[in-house]
Structure 1
Amino acid sequence: MAFEQSYGRRGSSFTQSYRCYPASFIEKPHLEKGDKIIMPPSALDRLAFLHIEYPMLFELSNPSAGRVTHCGVLEFVADEGLIYLPYWMMENMLLQEGDIVQVKNASLSKGTFVKLQPHTKDFLDISNPKVVLETTLRSFSCLTTGDTIMVAYNNKKFYIDVVETKPSSAVSIIETDCEVDFAPPLDYKEPEKPAVSTPVKKPRAEEEVEDEPAKKTPKFSPFTGPGRRLDGKPSTSTDEADKPSSSAAAQPHESETPSSSCKAPRYCGKLVFGSNAGPAPKPTPKATKEVRSEEPPVKSEESKFKAFTGKKYSLKS
């Protein structure tokens, strides 16, 4: 009966309080690379009596700070009443050397999804961070949402937050296929986009002032002034220059017949300079035949061009 009062009845949970110390006190530095603790031999006897399932997982809690995490066990070689924890786990629990921590056995479901967030982007600069993370997590038994785990690589420590775990807030990662996702590092900053300069809209009054000179500028219109005579007398009509000349009006149209266009004292279809040109001789039947065959008429000596034979005109009336 005393045995049952000391160790509890079979089938009951394991719950015990211990004083905690970092793993450096027993010269086991490899303990810092995982989440396993070292417990006293008496704890093993009690766990065996209660038939606790393997692998043995525990819930650690610090009632004074309200912190809870989960871990596994590596060995049962600690002094009675003491346990040894990784130092990064003591930091998560806000525990100091010699503080009291409660240990309780736990049964966790296998994890299917874990989301991690590195503290610094230096972790992503590693040649192969995925392989480094997989190697490190082999030393872990479980993960708890809100914890910060430590990954040691190349003499440098990288801290990673556990942002999310599925299917519960604490999962076991022993012999399970777990999907891992990464959130942007805490010190990551998105590249700044170049600022797009927006044109400043001017007041309507300024736009009207700028447009006013353009509206008042007159357009150039050629040949719009009044006409002037060379002799100084006023011009009688500005439309005289636009009237067709008498010589152009006297020219016959191509559609007119030869009989109607030959009334003028010149050859048909010919423009002769000079006023001394006499009447054209009547065409002979032979010449008429040649005109109809589109052959040029025989030019007479009188129809030749004579220079400076016309009338002369003076600028003064």
Structure 2
Amino acid sequence: MFFPGRYGYRGSNFEQTYRCYPASSFNKPHLEAGDKVIMPQSALERLSSLHIQYPMLFELHNGATERISHCGVLEFVAEEGTIIMPCWMMQNMLLQEGDIVRVKSATLPKGTFVKLQPHTTDFLDISNPKAILEKTLRNFSCLTAGGTIMVAYNNKQYYIDIVEAKPASAVCIIETDCEVDFAPPLDYKEPEKPQRPVVPARKAISEDQDANVEDEPKFKPFTGSAKRLDGRSSEQAPEVASATVPARSAPTDSDKRENKRAAAPSGASTSTRQRTGKLVFGSSASNKKEAQAQKEPAV
């Protein structure tokens, strides 16, 4: 329902259009430290007749750019038809001096979580940015996701984006415990990883070949296990040092006769040789008999 009048109020809600002007034009620099505006006396009269919840919160709408933000009110001393706003708020809403802005009363839930993103990394270089932020937000009534706030410290202005807000896109931060999280600053750059030196192709191939050669098993002389001719273990020490036997050709008739004599039992010496298990090529007794037979003349 629309009530006709010079201020255009609608039903039980407050809604009015004003021409906006920056706080610097009216010598009110203290407005820059928060999100509160100064409205005319007629707005207070109308708000008093409505059932407006406290604290008084308002939605600001720039119809030319469709930018929306929220604010509180500090005083009702502005000239009729005008509203005085912080400069950073006008910049955030893309408003110029004398532009038309629509002001509407709003009810916002208590904020439980906000995510902030500084524009520059130098904000994190402050000795205690959390304390500075808490002190600044005491002058704010609400926060709107997608908007930007300004934090003044040590004669310098730091701009911070409102990336996210819960439980709604616009929340009230008066008398509430709100969790705050930070996103990396807009100008933050990841540290560059050290690059590995580029190795020429020929050098890389030669290095791979050298690595392969080193991995191959090398020949080690005089390794392995030994075996004996008599079948006994090589770890058992021999009773008599063995002599090197030269390779022989096919056995002759005399060799066969000597082998037969050696194989026949001939007393204690033969039994001793069988017990030791060694290879014997002839005996001293048979050698003497053969020598005497050669000396005697044939009959």
Deviations 1:159-205 (A, max 9, x none): 00000000000000000000000001111111112224587777xx9
Structure 2 gaps of 5+ residues are 211-218, 222-242, 247-267, 270-299
Residue 59 (structure 1) aligned with residue 50 (structure 2): no
In structure 1, the residue matched to 2:106 is 106
The answer on whether the counterparts of 2:32 and 2:88 sit within 8 Å (CA) in structure 1 is yes
Distance 1:151 1:28 in 2: 17
Distance 1:8 1:88 in 2: 28
Q: How does 1:12-161 map to 2 (within 5 A)?
A: 12-161=12-161
Q: How does 1:121-270 map to 2 (within 5 A)?
A: 121-196=121-196, 242-243=244-245
Runs ≥4 in structure 1, deviation > 4 angstroms?
Answer: 7-11, 197-202
Distance 1:72 1:79 in 2: 18
* Cα distance change, pair 201–126 in 1 and its aligned pair in 2 (3 A): same
Structure 1 gaps of 5+ residues are 211-218, 222-240, 245-258, 261-317
Aligned residues: percent identity? 70
SS at 2:73 equivalent: strand
SS at 2:88 equivalent: helix
The answer on whether the counterparts of 2:142 and 2:172 sit within 8 Å (CA) in structure 1 is yes
Deviations 1:78-98 (A, max 9, x none): 000000000000001110000
SS at 2:30 equivalent: helix
Deviations 1:139-176 (A, max 9, x none): 00000001110000000000000000000000000000
Distance 2:181 2:3 in 1: 47
- Figure out how many residues of one structure are paired with residues of the other and give that number: 221
Distance 1:121 1:8 in 2: 46
The letter of the residue matching 1:174 is I
The letter of the residue matching 1:117 is Q
Distance 1:26 1:206 in 2: 79
* Cα distance change, pair 102–195 in 1 and its aligned pair in 2 (3 A): same
Q: TM-score, normalised by structure 2?
A: 0.66
In structure 1, the residue matched to 2:255 is none
The letter of the residue matching 1:54 is Y
Residue 10 of structure 1: CA displacement?
A: 9.0
Distance 1:83 1:8 in 2: 16
**Bigger CA radius of gyration:** 1
Distance 1:9 1:163 in 2: 33
Residue 5 of structure 1: CA displacement?
A: 3.4
* Pairwise CA RMSD: 3.5
